[in-house]
């Protein structure tokens, strides 16, 4: 479950961002829409514990985010959140396989080769396991990062423009994996997107909500 109340965030330079109160049930899907600069990526960062609200409250998977220290937030995020940011943050020194194995290690889990292989195969990048990020195309790197995000069957999946670099076939595969992973783990799925294909894909979901981000007070 994700719940927000009177949530705001202000960067040192730029407008204060105001977010409408939101209540997303466990297993629900939330689409974040809005113009560039309206706060979609900021909302995801707040939900992941990467930013602390300027005011208001956000609770994710029964955890009040504003009460966590930075160290506690890092440990909680590794175990609870699958996060696909716009900047993919794959370690350049590690192979694709090692990048995913590192995610298992960060969450305190032993290496699970079957889960790792399944995540890569589901997105059609299993043949890239021994390559390093610099050897991947933009679309391939996007799929590898998505495989890492869904690897641990997290309670909450956060995806920032997950289809931005993908053709129609790859976008459909990525969205199918996000949906299937969320459904299998009863996880809450939040996607920030400009892509009309995403809204169309989830249009029939029974627990779908849309939040339009804005720089105006909610």
Which CATH number does the domain housing residue 183 bear?
3.40.50.300
Residue 155 in any domain: the answer is yes
By the 10 Å C-beta count (0-12 exposed, 13-18 middle, 19+ buried), 109 is classed as middle
**Mean of the pLDDT values across residues 61-71?**
89
Residue 217 in any domain: the answer is no
End-to-end CA distance of the chain: 21
Count up the domains in the chain and report the number: 1
Q: Are 160 and 40 in contact (CB under 8 A)?
A: yes
Q: Are 190 and 19 in contact (CB under 8 A)?
A: no
Strand ranges (E), 51-136: 55-60, 63-64, 81-84
Residue 218 in any domain: the answer is no
| Listed residue (166, 168, 148, 167) closest to 158, CA to CA | 148
By the 10 Å C-beta count (0-12 exposed, 13-18 middle, 19+ buried), 96 is classed as buried
Residue 179 in any domain: the answer is yes
**Mean of the pLDDT values across residues 28-42?**
91
pTM for this prediction: 0.85
pLDDT at 216 over 70: no
**Mean of the pLDDT values across residues 75-103?**
91
- Joined together, the tokens standing for residue 27 give 């297993």
Residue 25 in any domain: the answer is yes
Domain range for 73 is 2-212
| Listed residue (152, 12, 175) closest to 79, CA to CA | 152
Residue 50 in any domain: the answer is yes
- Strands 55-60 and 63-64, bridge-based pairing: antiparallel
């Amino acid at each position: 479950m994700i719940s927000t109340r009177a949530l705001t965030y202000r960067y040192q330079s730029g407008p204060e961002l105001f977010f409408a109160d939101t209540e997303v049930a466990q297993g629900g899907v939330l689409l974040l829409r809005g113009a560039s600069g309206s706060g979609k990526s900021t909302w995801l960062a707040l939900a992941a514990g990467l930013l602390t609200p300027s005011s208001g409250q956000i609770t994710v998977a029964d955890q009040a985010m504003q009460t966590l220290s930075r160290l506690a937030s890092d440990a909680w995020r590794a175990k609870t959140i699958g996060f696909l940011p716009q900047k993919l943050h794959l370690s350049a020194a590690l192979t694709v396989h090692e990048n995913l194995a590192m995610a298992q290690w960060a969450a305190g889990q032993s290496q699970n080769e079957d889960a790792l292989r399944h995540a890569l195969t589901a997105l059609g990048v299993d043949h890239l396991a021994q390559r390093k990020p610099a050897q991947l195309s933009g679309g391939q790197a996007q799929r590898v990062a998505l495989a890492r995000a869904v690897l641990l069957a997290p309670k909450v999946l956060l995806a920032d423009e997950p289809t931005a670099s993908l053709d129609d076939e790859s976008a459909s595969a990525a969205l199918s994996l996000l949906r299937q992973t969320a459904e299998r783990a009863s996880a809450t799925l939040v996607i920030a997107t400009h892509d009309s294909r995403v809204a169309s894909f989830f249009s029939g979901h029974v627990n779908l909500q849309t939040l339009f981000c804005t720089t105006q007070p909610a």
